[in-house]
Amino acid sequence: MAEQTNRRAFAKYLVAGIATVATSRVAWAIESGKVHRNLSGFVTRDWKPYFSNLRNNVILVDTQSRSLHFWSEDGSDYRLYPTSVPISPELTRLGRTKVIKKVKDPSWRPTPAMLERNPDWPPFMPPGPDNPMGTHALYLSWQYYRIHGTHDTRKIGRRSSNGCIGLYNEHISELFDLAEVGTQVLLI
């Protein structure tokens, strides 16, 4: 019994040590510019092929790699977040839009098309842990489209939404503070 406990303790410390070394090496590589991909394989991008300027900040959503890129107006701040994306090409809207409203603790109303596909869904859901919009939402100029959080973290990195772009709640909270009404958005 004691031997089994010692093996488990050793394995636990070994894994923790490897994780610490790996994390510090990845952090060093990213900071030093030696790596152009993060742990999850998302490719870092330059904003210039996608935007003519960084006015009001810019957000690029790559639906293929399921990632969201943010650049600040002065270009000094670049962020990369994993996302969920629409479940099918029919629900995926691509092109240029912008942030028109920011809402903390958003309520949720499924679109008429969502209710048609899912008649058992409620017509309204107030803010809270069961709300699929998570803790924050950036409303886009396209009707019904949002960049928002999710309480269901299994959705991130997958084709799982009905049209919106989903982020972990801690990531949308960060992006919410960085983005502003008027932030340019491009979905590719």
Residue 85 sits at the vertex; the CA angle it makes with 82 and 87, to the nearest 5 degrees, is 145
Q: What is the dihedral of CA 46, 47, 52, 57, to 10 degrees?
A: -150
164 classed as catalytic: yes
* Active-site annotation holder among 69, 136, 164, 171: 164
151 classed as catalytic: no
* Active-site annotation holder among 36, 69, 136, 148: 148
- Judge whether 179 and 81 are in contact, CB under 8 Å: no
SS3 category, 99: strand
d(CA 171, CA 174): 5
d(CA 170, CA 153): 11
SS3 category, 149: strand
Q: Is 28 exposed, middle or buried (0-12, 13-18, 19+ CB in 10 A)?
A: exposed
Q: Give catalytic residue positions.
A: 148, 164
